[in-house]
Chains A and B, each alone.
Chain A
Amino acid sequence: MRHWVFGAALVAALGVVPLVTSSEFWLTFFLMALLFALLGQSWNVLGGYGGQFSFGHALFFGLGAYATGILQVRHGVPAWPAAIAAIAIAAAVGAALGALVFRYRLRGSYFALVTLAFAEVARILVASFDYTGSGFGILIALAPGAGNFQFADRRVFYWLAWALVCLGCLVALWLERSRFGARLIAIRENEAAAQALGIDPLRTKTLALALSGAIAGVAGVLYMQIFLFADSHIAFGPTMSVEALLAPIIGGLGTAFGPLLGAILLHALGELARHATGGAPGLNLVLYGVLLIVMLRFLPDGITGLARRRARG
């Protein structure tokens, strides 16, 4: 219960950031943290609640970004319908991938490897065809206006991202309370036992992957509309897959606010490392890495896990 209150307070505090600071830098800082929190929540739905560790979540992020970009640039679809279509595509691909991979009962490291492979294949494919912008990528024309899903005021993007993160947290809370979530968690705990109780693992995990894909797709769409550009490495590269799993693992797997907490913390750490090391190139990344190792060593169940342990003790 306390964890729930703390999470809600964090979300509420983030909601007023644009009112407290007029600094574009801090706004961008928190906006990026929110964006990666959303991506992290997507990973958390499948990995945290479902126990299926994906190493290729960039696939769905990239699909969201690329689909909305291609629909706008190549087919002249207005930005908002394109965004909705892109999210649907990411969800559909999630469902198709789940139906395929889970049918063959790929679990654990095999599931991780297959998702990694799919993301890599997608990256190479989009880099190979002119339709997908080949190696150059997709560039959406700059045309500020709410109708074009482009806002001159950074705060609008911020609140949009914030609202979507809230929605993501609500989805996670729903998972903790709903029948579907209970089935998913049962599969995470013991798939054979869950099946013996009459749960259909294929159906449940596939739905979870579709839901996860949709959320990652939302993050991809948002990224594309903010930066108006993505290439194959940004959208489908392994870096994005790692970003997706870092935030929930650091923040707390299978908790509603873990990804948000993790994303904020990771971004703060990155920024802190940069300030601490000054101008020496790369040193901030070394410090960031060291801090990450220390955190993983002493906080195996993330920050939320620490809070829970302290609450119990």
Chain B
Amino acid sequence: MTRTPTRREVLAGAAAGGAVLGMPAILKAQAPSVKVGLLHPVTGALAYEGEQGRKGALLAIEELNAAGGIKSMGGAKLEAVLADAQSKPEVGAAEIDRLAEAGVAAVLGPFGSGIALATTQAAAKHNLAHVVDVGVVDQIVQRGLKNTFRFAPGFGRVTAQGLENLVALNTAAGNPVKTVLIVHEDGAFGSGMAKLMNERLPQFGFQILDTIGHPTPTRDFTNIALKVKQANPDLVIPSNYKNEFILMARTLRQQRVQPKAIFAVLGGAASNIRFAREYPDAAENIIDNNHWFDPTKPLSKKFAASVEKKGWDLTYELMLNYSCMRLIADAIERAASADRAKVIDALASSTFSDHIMPYGPTRFENGQNQGAQIVTTQIRNKKIEVIYPKEFASAAPLFPVPRKG
């Protein structure tokens, strides 16, 4: 049976289609304010990290608006346009198009390296400034994208500095650590780190007793803990993700494995305040080399107080996004415009220093902030303290860690 559509049906269909296609135009017509896109993976595998990042950026916006907004633009308020990358690169890239059409002056996000590779490139097509909050993979800033700025250090810098800090701590303590055992997850991050450690550590006179790989997820670390116990290394270097890190630390504690220190580089949970609070037995004295704020700055103290008042977890995603949002606001302030090209120029020439990270004035070279660095932290009394370098330290290092009963 065939039936031709009536005129009314055709009109209804055309109207629906027109409404759908016309929607972005409606989005554009809103009150004058400066829009900034916050693109984080707030659902999916990276939801916790993404949510933390979003909170950090929103906190900065709240404070900046309370302080009078963008003064060079007559006190224009910053307006967050929220987007969810769903922990998937192609969704992140599609969200960039949506943000560009919403008229944002810049984009901040998207935590994961894989997502960042896609979103920075998508933003480049719109000539839209994209500040990368975390994404440590070095290729993100090595593709000649003029719109891409990474405020935090990349993998190469982080690992080199982690090793330097280990040598410095060990030397200062009279070289108690001679033997090392590496436990790593067998994906890109863990394997890469393990390979690097195997190359570099012997150059500093450390002996590597064993390198133990495990998949993600791993739900039982008993065998690995027993292997570690048998090898009895001075130092355990773990490189795995949050859940495995917590499980491993707890199993080591249960099996009474007590190396002179657990020393992580970009440790999955070693810089996570919840781990420190909820599993103090396992977490106490673990050392990490990670993004962290400079706790000695006055702004950091104010930031930490606000975070505590809101009942949020103090994590590095929060710190980095808070700082990056201030960096973007400063660029818009100097550009005195939400014009995309002007914002990119302002970011490229940024010397911004009113942030909470231990970086000093910002200086971008090919999109990478040259002053960016990590610090060495240690979990002490359910708190995360900076122990190295000295100028940022909030506590003296406990290295080697004394044996418990």
Contact, CB under 8 Å: B89 / A229: yes
Contact, CB under 8 Å: B143 / A141: yes
Interface-facing stretch out of A129-137, A185-193, A290-298: A129-137
Is B100's beta carbon under 8 Å from chain A?
Answer: yes
Contact, CB under 8 Å: A234 / B24: no
Within 8 A of A (CB), among B130-161: 137, 139, 143-145
Contact, CB under 8 Å: A142 / B187: no
Within 8 A of B (CB), among A110-165: 127-128, 133-137, 139, 141-142, 152, 154
Is B173's beta carbon under 8 Å from chain A?
Answer: no
* Candidate in A1, A28, A285 with the most chain B CB atoms within 10 angstroms: A28
- Measured in the bound complex, the distance between the Cα atoms of B90 and A312 in whole Å is 40
Is B191's beta carbon under 8 Å from chain A?
Answer: yes
Contact, CB under 8 Å: B186 / A128: yes
Q: CB-CB contacts of B247-286 with A at 8 A, as 1s and 0s? A: 0000000000000000000000000000000000000000
Interface-facing stretch out of B113-121, B313-321, B364-372: B113-121
- Measured in the bound complex, the distance between the Cα atoms of B176 and A96 in whole Å is 57
Q: For residue B189, which residues in chain A have a CB less than 8 angstroms away from its CB?
A: 135
Is A223's beta carbon under 8 Å from chain B?
Answer: yes
**What secondary structure prevails in chain B residues at the interface with A?**
helix
Number of A-B contacts (CB under 8 A): 97
Q: CB-CB contacts of A1-17 with B at 8 A, as 1s and 0s? A: 11000000000000000
- Measured in the bound complex, the distance between the Cα atoms of B23 and A29 in whole Å is 13
Is B82's beta carbon under 8 Å from chain A?
Answer: yes
Contact, CB under 8 Å: B117 / A139: yes
Q: Per a CB cutoff under 8 Å, which of A2, A26, A142 touches B121?
A: A142
Q: Per a CB cutoff under 8 Å, which of A20, A127, A137, A234 touches B88?
A: A234
Is B47's beta carbon under 8 Å from chain A?
Answer: yes
Q: Per a CB cutoff under 8 Å, which of B2, B88, B117 touches A2?
A: B2
Contact, CB under 8 Å: B187 / A282: no
Task: Knowing A136-B188, A281-B51 are in contact, say whether A227-B21 is a contact too (CB < 8 A).
Answer: no
Is B11's beta carbon under 8 Å from chain A?
Answer: no
Contact, CB under 8 Å: B137 / A282: no
Q: For residue B82, which residues in chain A have a CB less than 8 angstroms away from its CB?
A: 279
Q: CB-CB contacts of B106-125 with A at 8 A, as 1s and 0s? A: 00000001100110010011
Is A104's beta carbon under 8 Å from chain B?
Answer: no
Task: Give chain B's interface residue range (CB within 8 Å of chain A).
Answer: 35 or more
Within 8 A of B (CB), among A22-51: 23-29, 32
A139 to B: closest C-beta gap in Å: 6
Contact, CB under 8 Å: B21 / A28: no
Is B97's beta carbon under 8 Å from chain A?
Answer: yes
- With both beta carbons as reference points, the residue of chain A lying nearest to B113 in the complex is identified as A136
Q: For residue B192, which residues in chain A have a CB less than 8 angstroms away from its CB?
A: 134-136
Is B78's beta carbon under 8 Å from chain A?
Answer: no
Is A231's beta carbon under 8 Å from chain B?
Answer: yes
Q: For residue A2, which residues in chain B have a CB less than 8 angstroms away from its CB?
A: 2
Within 8 A of A (CB), among B217-275: none
Contact, CB under 8 Å: B93 / A134: no
Contact, CB under 8 Å: A25 / B117: no
Q: For residue A311, which residues in chain B have a CB less than 8 angstroms away from its CB?
A: 1
What are 30 A-to-B residue pairs whose CB atoms are below 8 Å?
A1-B2, A25-B94, A25-B97, A25-B101, A27-B97, A32-B90, A127-B187, A133-B188, A134-B191, A135-B191, A135-B192, A136-B188, A137-B188, A139-B117, A141-B143, A142-B121, A154-B125, A227-B93, A227-B121, A228-B121, A229-B114, A229-B118, A229-B121, A231-B188, A234-B88, A281-B42, A281-B43, A282-B43, A282-B47, A285-B43
Given A28-B97, A282-B47, 14 more pairs with CB closer than 8 A: A23-B21, A26-B21, A26-B24, A134-B191, A135-B187, A135-B190, A136-B137, A142-B145, A154-B125, A227-B118, A229-B89, A234-B89, A281-B43, A282-B42
Q: Across the A-B interface, give the 8 residue pairs with the lowest CB-CB distance, nearest first.
A: A135-B188, A135-B187, A281-B42, A136-B188, A24-B97, A25-B97, A282-B43, A229-B117
B binding-site residues for A, Cβ under 8 Å: 1-2, 20-21, 24, 42-43, 47, 51, 82, 84, 86, 88-90, 93-94, 97-98, 100-101, 113-114, 117-118, 121, 124-126, 137, 139, 143-145, 186-192
